[in-house]
Amino acid sequence: MRSGTASNSTSPIASVTVYEVLAAAGSASDGAGALLHPVATSARAMTDEAAARRERVREVLFTVT
């Protein structure tokens, strides 16, 4: 079994960086902030969900092995 293959396919660091960029762009002006805030919030939620899924997979793999 190749350990870590699934977790390396999507980098959580890249997701957080995208969130931070969107949040910074959203706070740049009121108009852009109103448009980008839901996008940044959604990106952060997807990042959190992906991290939770990876953690569940690690727990299962640890239990199985």
Domain boundaries, the chain: 10-64
**pLDDT reported for residue 4:** 44
Which amino acid type is present at position 2?
R
pLDDT digits (tens, 9 = 90+) for 26-55: 555 555 555 666 666 777 777 888 888 889
Which amino acid type is present at position 38?
P
Q: What is the C-alpha separation between 16 and 48, in angstroms, rounded?
A: 9
| pTM for this prediction | 0.38
- Could you tell me which of 63, 61, 65 has the C-alpha nearest to residue 5? 61
